[in-house]
Amino acid sequence: MLDVGAGTGLLALEARRRVGPSGRVVAVDVSQDALRECRRQAALDELVVPLHLVVGDALQLPFHDNCFDAVLTRSVLIYLTAKLTAVRELRRVLRPGGRASIFEPVNSASDGYAWNWGLDLSSLQPAHDRIVAYLREHWEHENAMLGFDERDLVGCFVEAGFASVRLSYEYRYDCDRRRPGEITASLRVRPNPTMLSYEEGARAILGDAADDHLLRLSRLMLSQPLTGVMAAAHITARRSS
Ligand SMILES: C[S@@+](CC[C@H](N)C(=O)[O-])C[C@H]1O[C@@H](n2cnc3c(N)ncnc32)[C@H](O)[C@@H]1O
């Protein structure tokens, strides 16, 4: 089986446990560093099933046609503008009857990139809006990550010529109080590797006034429950026999 955009191998390493003694797992990623970590973790495992690590691009997989029984990819298509090209590649490398599985966050349905947590932020304007605009301007993958939903993903599998396509959609809404440490983390952590954190945006826009802004925002966030929406699509598909 093939794990596309395997990263440090969370899925590929588990797949290695599941394919059985005659199975083989290939992990492909553009990042040599991620694969190096994957190799390190694989070495800790006592399993003998081979794990092949290959540097390569999901948009042009370095494999022959029809060579895998199963392909999977998780949280990789979100980074690609040409999602259909990547799904065509999944189909191309699958043998007839082979199966594909993907799991992708559907960011257009979530509010993670609005930075408002369901709060009335008028007391922090116009600084807050300027910070959010700055974060979005400096987000290389904004279009790829926000400009699609689960139907677009299903459409890619249909257009790529898969014989059967199944979608499971997960949607989660939460409204709860957060602890101070969680609030600090949500302002300090980069939501994804290609994006700045809210705190970095605040420092770039407000300079010396950033600490005061972050303190007032943290207090507001502590004062009431915060809302959050998360959505994800899991698609399984089969290539016709
Ligand atoms: C969020 S990580 C997901 C890693 C892994 N699939 C997992 O679920 O733990 C995204 C991975 O996609 C890889 N990636 C991004 N663009 C890629 C491309 N065009 N071809 C192959 N891998 C890519 C990144 O290097 C990174 O390792």
- The predicted structure's pLDDT at residue 43: 87
Residues 6+ apart with CB under 8 A from 174: 227, 228, 229, 230
User: With a 6 A CB cut-off, is 29 part of the ligand 1 pocket?
Assistant: yes
Task: Give start and end residues of each alpha helix (H) in 3-116.
Answer: 10-18, 32-44, 83-93
- The predicted structure's pLDDT at residue 140: 84
- For ligand 1, pick from 3, 30, 140 the residue to mutate: most ligand atoms within 8 Å of CB: 30
User: With a 6 A CB cut-off, is 10 part of the ligand 1 pocket?
Assistant: yes
pLDDT tops 70 at residue 232: yes
- Measured in Å, residue 34 CA sits from the centre of ligand 1 at 9
pLDDT confidence tier of residue 235, bands split at 50, 70 and 90 = very high
- Taking only the tens place, the pLDDT of each residue in 183-197 is 999 999 998 888 899
Of 78, 97, 137, 101, give the one whose Cα is nearest residue 3. 101
User: With a 6 A CB cut-off, is 9 part of the ligand 1 pocket?
Assistant: no
Q: Where are the domains of the chain?
A: 107-140+178-223
- Taking only the tens place, the pLDDT of each residue in 149-165 is 999 999 999 999 999 99
pTM (2 d.p.): 0.91
Task: Determine which residue's CA is closest to atom 23 belonging to ligand 1.
Answer: 5
- For ligand 1, pick from 36, 54, 79 the residue to mutate: most ligand atoms within 8 Å of CB: 79
Identify whether the C-beta of residue 206 lies closer than 8 Å to the C-beta of residue 213.
yes
- Taking only the tens place, the pLDDT of each residue in 174-228 is 999 999 999 999 999 998 888 899 999 999 999 999 999 999 999 999 999 999 9
Task: Determine which residue's CA is closest to atom 9 belonging to ligand 1.
Answer: 10
What is the C-alpha to C-alpha distance for residues 84 and 120, in angstroms, rounded to an integer?
39
User: With a 6 A CB cut-off, is 30 part of the ligand 1 pocket?
Assistant: yes
User: With a 6 A CB cut-off, is 79 part of the ligand 1 pocket?
Assistant: yes
Q: In what order do the strands lie in the sheet with 94-105?
A: 51-55, 25-29, 2-4, 68-74, 94-105, 226-238, 164-176
